[in-house]
Each structure stands twice: as C-alpha cells, then as structure tokens.
Amino acid sequence: MAEADEAPAAAAQRELKEELGLDPEIGRLLVVDWVPPHGPWDHSLMFIFDGGILRHQQLAELNVIDRELSILRLADPAEMPELLRLCMAPGSRRTPRALRQTGGVLRRKSLGG
C-alpha cells in the first residue's frame, strides 16, 4: 500500500524491501485495475509492475520479514486467481499477457479505454 505522496513504483519497491528484503529494479507498469472495497479497505487502484527475473542467489535469500505475510512460495501465473483475493484476481489474470506485450498498459474497461 502506498504511503501519502508516494508514487506507485516507489511504493512497490519499498514494500518488496520491507516485506521480503528484496531491492529489485521496478520495471514498466503492466496492469492498472480498480479493486472494490473489501474487508476494512476502501476501493483502490492496483498497479502491477514488471519486477524482473530473480537470480538464483536472490531466490535462495528470499525471506518473509513482515508479519503481514504468512507464507512465501513461488507460483505459476495460472495459479494467481486461486491464490489472490477474489477482488484482485481480474487484474492479476492480465499480468502474463501484459508481460508478453511490448508496450501499453492493460486495464479494465471500467477504468475507461
């Protein structure tokens, strides 16, 4: 979640550092999606960025630092809808296709466009 006045890419980088100890270069924006209110959270925009490919050493050093996360595992992109909250699944399903594209950002039609 972005802090006040924090750009989405900077928030992604900070969250990866805080929660997993990773400091990757955040790549291009892949997906923008609207997430409806759920639980204690208001509606929000979800930004999914290309985080690159982790090297073997980075994978070996992956560690849950933040107690917000209960488990860490690598998953096939096809598993995302099963692993994420239902309200986040639509945007995440478009991520593999966005990675294959060379330009543009995928977004839900209700966001306009």
Task: Quick: pLDDT tens for 15-37.
Answer: 999 988 888 889 999 888 888 88
Taking residue 88's Cβ as centre, other Cβ atoms within 10 Å add up to 19
Instruction: Decide: 95 and 77 in contact? Cβ < 8 Å.
Output: yes
Instruction: Decide: 63 and 21 in contact? Cβ < 8 Å.
Output: yes
Average pLDDT, the chain: 80
Lookup: tokens for 102: 């060379």
∠ Cα 105 111 113 (to 5°): 65
Task: Quick: pLDDT tens for 73-102.
Answer: 888 877 877 887 766 666 677 777 777 776
Instruction: Decide: 91 and 46 in contact? Cβ < 8 Å.
Output: yes
Taking residue 106's Cβ as centre, other Cβ atoms within 10 Å add up to 17
In terms of pTM, does the model score above 0.85?
no
Which contacts (CB < 8 Å, 24+ apart) does range 93-96 have? 94/30, 94/31, 94/33, 95/30, 95/31, 95/48
